[in-house]
Amino acid sequence: MPEDQQAERVRELVGAMSPLGARTVTSSDRVVDDLGYDSVAILELALALEVEFDLQAIAEDQAVDLLTVGDIEQLVGQLARKPA
Amino acid sequence: MTITTGPVSGEILDILDDPAPSRPAAGNTPDRSTLPGALALYARWEKGQWSVGDVRVERDRETWAALRPFAERELGDALTELEVGEVCVTRTLSALVDHAPTDDDRIYLCTQLADEGRHVRFFQEYLTTAAGIELDSALDEASAYGQLFEPQLVAATSRVRESGGDRGAWYEALVGYHLITEGVLAAAALRTTRVLAQRYGLHALHEGLGNVARDESRHLTYGLMAARRGVDDGEHRELIARCYLSGAELAARVMVNPHKKAITPVMTAALHARARQLTAQWQVGLDRAVRQLRLIGLPGLRDDVERSWSAAQRRALAEYRERWDTEHPVVLAA
């Protein structure tokens, strides 16, 4: 999947699963403060993203803080399995 | 951020949520009179009736069907554990009834047996009607309680029968049944599951679990009162302390559940959230195991319980790594 489509799909999922109700989100929206994500919602989102993009685990030192939707887009870009 | 595991909406679900009874009346000795007796608990039972039919579990069917995979698995697993536990106690409690120390104890325990039957009916109705989960032997096989704790409880209640009601065997079963199964494992599971039911708008589940929790509160209070009696008589103090320690160890293992592969998110933030969530649940169990000690007159056992719990938890996490060839999410996130 091209990167821009992938990022768009991430935004769709993050918006659809917002605990505040489904909404359109932008890359600069803050996951906790603007979209109401708590620990359970982050878990739900992470597992949905794993299924959607077949994500691989990364080393701890590659981890980034998930403050904004853009951070999630970037992380999914790193973790998504690339076709062989 | 963690899942809230305290009482829902600030309500007092059982005697351990109420700070008053566990407050020492003088010095370090709790006041035994704060624990109601079997007669008073019977009276509470008469006033606290509820019906599985009135909960109308079918009203949750649509909401359950719309749950996301994580919520569905968490709730499904928790309800399965509770159902397996309740079925186990309906099969074993009669040994305690038959050999109860007094008629008042026996009459109270009969009410508890009726409660346990009602709980089984509630969980089975909910699982099949609202959640669409088939009841079969696979549930038993997947249950940590069924695999790890039930054999111990069956053996303990069998010893009560085989000994013709030996009082030591009776107290041993009481500790495993009332204090560990109900006071630690079921109480912790009920809290966490009720919080999730409220979060996901499963109103029938939330209502039904509230009813179950109130019943369990009576059961636990009876267990605390009866164990306290055994501790105070001097003859059974050491036995109760020993059973409590081994029960707490087993409870720690059940809560880690090395037999089942845990949800382990690959995204670090989610992995940490999962680890915090599990650790908080385990902490509820340990807190309860420790807080009960004062009420049964064994406050000095606190350090031993904490040490035994931690050691059992470490062994269970090592067993998990051995079985699944990967670390448990709590270890990965540490």
Q: What is the DSSP letter of B263?
A: P
Nearest CA of chain B to the CA of A62: how many Å? 9
Q: Crossing angle, helix B167-174 and helix B237-256, to 10 degrees?
A: 30
* Residue A56 lies inside a defined structural domain of this protein: yes
What's the confidence (pLDDT) of residue B296? 96
pLDDT of A25: 96
Closest chain B residue to A45 measured between Cα atoms? B270
C-alpha span between B178 and B153 (Å, rounded): 11
Q: Residue A58 and residue B2: Cβ atoms within 8 Å?
A: no
**What local confidence, expressed as pLDDT, does residue A83 receive?**
55
Can you give the residue range of the structural domain that contains A28?
Answer: 3-79
CA-based nearest distance A66→chain B, Å = 7
Interchain contact, B1 vs A38, CB within 8 Å = yes
- A1–B contact, CB cutoff 8 A: no
Say if A84 falls within a structural domain. no
Q: What is the pLDDT of residues B56-79, one digit of tens each?
A: 999 999 999 999 888 998 999 999
Residues of B in contact with A63 (CB under 8 A): 268-269
Predicted local distance difference test score (pLDDT) of residue B283: 95
- Domain positions in chain B: 67-333
CATH number of the domain at A10, please. 1.10.1200.10
- Whether the ipTM is more than 0.90: the answer is no
In this predicted structure, which of A3-7, A31-35, B234-238 has the lowest mean pLDDT? A3-7
Q: Please, which residues bridge with residue B26 across strands?
A: B29
Q: Is the pLDDT of residue B5 over 90?
A: no
Pick the CATH number of B67-333 from 3.40.50.1000, 2.160.10.10, 1.10.620.20, 3.90.79.10: 1.10.620.20
Q: Does B49 touch chain A (CB under 8 A)?
A: no
Is B158:B247 a contact under the CB 8 Å cutoff?
no
Structural domain count of chain A: 1
Task: Assess contact for B157 and B96: CB atoms under 8 A.
Answer: yes
